[in-house]
Structure 1
């Protein structure tokens, strides 16, 4: 059994595009979120990570589970997987790159090749339910 990296992520779709981020020095886009710190539950980690990465506050009253996805961890040795627990939520503030984030991007299904393997599964789900545009922006 390989190593599993647990993460939480925020799924935000607007106008048929998924909000994604690219960290400094990385070549792939990722759904915003990160790893819970010691003592944090998923929701606490999600609220902290989104505030740090995107400079906005999620509305805790609107947080709902979207799904759990698992795939090979991008940039890690074979057999290292990431398990991402994804949530939807409304937010307050203006989206802006924060900690470690070089770029924000709104991606359609045509951008699937630009994201990590676990994010490809999320894009597949969103596209199959008609929530993502298939054409490039």
Structure 2
């Protein structure tokens, strides 16, 4: 039986347009910062909490813009499906890994993608970002 986890995550971009990825301790795959929603939390509240726990990051009011809802298999949990609310924001300053994070990586989404990206990121979010960038380029 598959379990569904409801998560909230963020596409955080630096001034060069690179996407921030994180890898949690004792895991292989890189993913967007964020995490599971607690009972009674909405997606935005969960994401704000997770960003502070993982990166000690607090963004100003209105900084996180809704990007979309996506589904994919979980990278690090067997027989688990993710229902993800994804947001976007510019990263206002450098961050360091905290809490359960082992490593940060900056991804240039225009370059070859590494093999160690979580399915949600590789199969859903990055293609949606590419479509958005393509639309912006034609406007």
Deviations 1:115-134 (A, max 9, x none): 11111121122234448xxx
1:84 is the counterpart of 2:84: yes
Following superposition, which runs of at least 4 residues in structure 1 exceed 4 angstroms of deviation?
Answer: 90-93
Q: How far 1:35 sits from its partner (Å)?
A: 0.8
Q: Which residue of 2 aligns with 1:5?
A: 5
Q: Distance in 2 between matches of 1:7 and 1:44?
A: 11
Matches within 5 A, 1:1-137: 2-14=2-14, 15-78=16-79, 80-90=80-90, 94-109=94-109, 110-120=112-122, 121-130=124-133
Q: How far 1:92 sits from its partner (Å)?
A: 5.1
Q: How far 1:45 sits from its partner (Å)?
A: 0.8
Structure 2 runs not aligned, ≥5 long = 135-139
Q: Which residue of 1 aligns with 2:137?
A: none
TM-score, normalised by the number of residues in structure 1: 0.82
**Greater CA deviation, 45-54 or 68-77?**
68-77
Q: Distance in 2 between matches of 1:90 and 1:29?
A: 19
TM-score, normalised by the number of residues in structure 2: 0.81
* Aligned partner of residue 89 in structure 1, secondary structure: strand
The number of residues matched between the two structures is 130
